[in-house]
């Protein structure tokens, strides 16, 4: 962490799952509903939290295999994926809520005149209803879901797309996330990156990651930046 604070930036991009919203309860419920329908035993919430971050497809594969990188039988996965989407789509925001400091932080960012975007690996079919149901949708000038572009985090493409959209340089865009995906994407794009400690970093501490600051909330993150001219 060699940068001096406050950082001078023009845009703030924020991750969704584990950063803006505590979505794990709904993701876990959908996993358990899927497993029950398939005659399989449930998976604990704390385990599902470690599976979050690479999109629903990889989440389902991890639930089926109990492994972070393994691929289940293709036919089994196809069946499970359709069942999961049905259950999650029906209850995408039943328990999901903003983390403490999120709404206050977004209000602060908008009032200060920053460009604000949400970039997530979650598919748009879930992202948009979730943001609308939780009252966060209208804070964002740009919402990039995992299926919006040819590549997603940890690839830098979504962040570079946001820079182009806002007409800024990568060093003028701050990413706030909760996981390795976010820090890798930011470093590859040349953007500064903060992480919150309460999210879903595969069950590991964000203090191990290559980042510029660990911030307890989105609101606290606003105290480490200033609006670039």
Output the DSSP codes for the chain: ----SSEEESEEEE-TBTTTEE-HHHHHHHHHHHHHHTT-----HHHHHHHTTS-HHHHHHHHHHSSSS----HHHHHHHHHHHHHHHHHTTTSS-EEPTTHHHHHHHHHHHT-EEEEE-SS-HHHHHHHHHHTT-GGG-SEEE-TTSSS--TTSSHHHHHHHHHHT--GGGEEEEESSHHHHHHHHHHT--EEE-TTS-STTS-GGGS--SEE-SSHHHHGGGEEE--
Write down the domain spans for the chain.
7-22+96-227, 24-90
- Of the candidate CATH numbers 1.10.3470, 1.10.10, 1.10.150, 3.30.1140, the domain formed by 24-90 belongs to 1.10.150
The question of whether 182 is a catalytic residue gets the answer: no
> What CATH architecture is 7-22+96-227?
3-Layer(aba) Sandwich (3.40)
List 15, 22, 26, 212, catalytic entry: 15
pLDDT per residue, tens digit, the chain (229 aa), is 457 899 999 999 999 999 999 999 999 999 999 999 999 999 999 999 999 988 899 999 999 999 999 999 999 999 999 999 999 999 999 999 999 999 999 999 999 999 999 999 999 999 999 999 999 999 999 999 999 999 999 999 999 999 999 999 999 999 999 999 999 999 999 999 999 999 999 889 999 999 999 999 999 999 999 999 8
């Amino acid at each position: 962490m060699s940068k001096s604070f406050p950082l001078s930036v023009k845009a703030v991009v924020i991750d969704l799952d584990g950063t803006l919203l505590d979505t794990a309860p709904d993701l876990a419920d959908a996993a358990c509903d899927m497993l029950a329908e398939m005659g399989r035993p449930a998976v604990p919430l704390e385990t599902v939290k470690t599976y979050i971050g690479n999109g629903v497809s990889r989440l389902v594969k991890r639930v089926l295999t109990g492994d972070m990188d393994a691929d289940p039988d293709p036919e089994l996965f196809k069946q499970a994926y359709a069942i999961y989407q049905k259950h999650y789509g029906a209850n995408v925001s039943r328990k999901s809520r903003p983390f403490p400091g999120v709404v206050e932080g977004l209000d602060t960012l908008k009032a200060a005149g920053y460009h604000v975007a949400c970039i997530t690996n979650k598919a748009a079919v879930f992202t948009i209803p979730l943001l609308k149901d939780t009252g966060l949708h209208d804070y964002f000038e740009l919402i990039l879901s995992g299926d919006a572009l040819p590549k997603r985090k940890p690839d830098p493409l979504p962040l570079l797309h946001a820079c182009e959209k806002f007409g800024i340089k990568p060093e003028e865009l701050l990413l706030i996330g909760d996981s390795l995906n976010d820090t890798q994407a930011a470093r590859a794009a040349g953007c500064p990156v903060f992480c919150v400690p309460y999210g879903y970093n595969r069950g590991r501490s964000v203090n191990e990651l290559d980042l510029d600051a660990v911030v307890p909330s989105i609101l606290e993150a606003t105290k480490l930046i200033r609006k670039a001219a």
